[in-house]
């Protein structure tokens, strides 16, 4: 639906570009007193996409939450994208989302129909995922915010983390980059039409199919590419795995229009935070234009999965992915730790 209230005009930041920088967040969490529990096999100390708690020998609980200001003006689409983005963390752990709670802040002046459509978008995404929204919490505030707290399940021995990439692995990315740059251009009323239709459809697409195909292979490590960018999330994977990720820049899928806008300087603030966070761990092995680097640091909203699997399985996995997700691509490989965590080649 269209609304007279432009949702993106009510927010100072859009989508996952609103996230605190990863480096800032890590410093804030340092030194907190927490309980130790051997059943908690993935916690926030791992910089992973979700926490994982073992319930019994066959079941582990995955918990995550994600919410953000409007990335689009259409309330239904905004709700769907926010919900898809939240559930993506569960898929990145190799799990299935099952239960969810709404998190909603309605800005003053938002009509009730717009609020209802945001919620309907969330329910629509959850229904497609096979998850149930069982309630939530709604407040009023200065800016609209929506997302979900999500619980999912996975077998304890099949949990995927962002810290187990192995030397010899190949890296696959399932969605093209450039979302943050293009939504920044849209907010400045410089992008529209077919460009926006394309990225809206991408952001609204669940990572369920990618997950379903991925888990049929011996994947070692996985993360979803969201606000910290390909290089930010890749940096965390490399650090956690104590390996070096080599990114083959010419193989990385991205929206061509994003390169044009990046060349014009239309880059979201989150990209600069990501560069500040991960840039010290990145080494250029070849010349890479500043605009292309901006795309690699660009914060993504509801981005794709980045996963590492043995080279012998990579081509077969990619073929199956491309039957459903044509832009999926092999974007690099993993080696023993070198003189940088990330190498651009």
State the catalytic residues.
16
- Residue showing tokens 């998850």: 131
Query: Which pair of structure tokens corresponds to residue 268?
Result: 């979201």
CA–CA gap between residue 218 and residue 274 (Å, rounded): 30
Beta carbons within 8 Å of 3's beta carbon, 6+ residues apart: 73, 74, 75, 111, 113, 114, 117
Residue 274 DSSP SS3: helix
Q: Measuring CA to CA, which residue among 6, 119, 123, 121 is closest to residue 72? A: 6
Q: What is the DSSP letter of 16?
A: G
CA distance 141 to 261: 32
First CA to last CA across the chain, in angstroms? Answer: 44
Q: Tell me, what DSSP letter sits at residue 300?
A: P
DSSP conformation class of 177: B
Nearest-Å Rg of the Cα atoms of the chain is 19
Look at residue 271 and give its three-state secondary structure.
helix
Q: How many CA atoms lie within 13 A of 58 on its CB side?
A: 0
CA distance linking residue 63 with residue 148, whole number of Å: 11
For 182-234, the DSSP string reads HHHHHHTT---THHHHHHHHHHTS-SHHHHHHHTTS---EEEE--TTHHHHHH
Bridge partners, residue 101, by sequence: 149
């Amino acid at each position: 639906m269209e609304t007279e209230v432009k949702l993106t005009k009510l927010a100072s930041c859009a989508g996952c570009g609103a996230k605190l920088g990863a480096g800032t967040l890590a410093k804030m969490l340092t030194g907190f007193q927490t309980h130790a529990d051997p059943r908690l096999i993935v916690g926030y100390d791992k910089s992973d996409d979700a926490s994982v708690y073992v319930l019994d020998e066959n079941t582990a609980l995955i918990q995550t939450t994600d919410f953000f200001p409007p990335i689009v003006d259409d309330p239904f689409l905004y709700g769907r994208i926010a919900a898809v983005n939240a559930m993506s963390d569960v898929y990145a752990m190799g799990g299935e989302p099952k239960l969810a709670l709404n998190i909603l802040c309605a800005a003053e002046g938002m009509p009730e129909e717009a609020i209802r459509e945001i919620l309907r978008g969330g329910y629509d995404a959850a229904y497609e995922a096979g998850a149930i929204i069982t309630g939530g919490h709604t407040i009023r505030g200065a800016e609209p915010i929506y997302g979900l707290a999500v619980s999912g399940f996975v077998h304890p021995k099949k949990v995927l983390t962002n810290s187990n990439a192995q030397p010899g692995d190949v890296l696959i990315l399932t969605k093209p980059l450039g979302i943050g740059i293009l939504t920044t251009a849209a907010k400045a009323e410089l992008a529209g039409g077919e460009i926006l239709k394309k990225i809206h459809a991408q952001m609204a697409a669940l990572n369920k199919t990618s997950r379903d195909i991925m888990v049929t292979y011996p994947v070692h490590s996985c993360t979803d590419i969201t606000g910290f960018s390909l290089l930010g999330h890749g940096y965390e994977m490399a650090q956690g795995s104590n390996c070096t990720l080599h990114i083959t820049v010419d193989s990385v899928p991205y929206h061509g229009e994003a390169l044009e806008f990046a060349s014009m300087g239309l880059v979201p603030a989150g990209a600069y935070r990501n560069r500040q966070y991960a840039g010290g761990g990145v080494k250029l092995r070849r010349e890479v234009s500043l605009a292309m680097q901006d795309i690699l640091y660009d914060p993504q909203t509801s981005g794709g999965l980045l996963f590492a699997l043995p080279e012998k399985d990579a081509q077969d996995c990619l073929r199956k992915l491309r039957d459903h997700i044509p832009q999926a691509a092999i974007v690099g490989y993993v080696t023993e730790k070198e003189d940088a965590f990330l190498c651009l080649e």
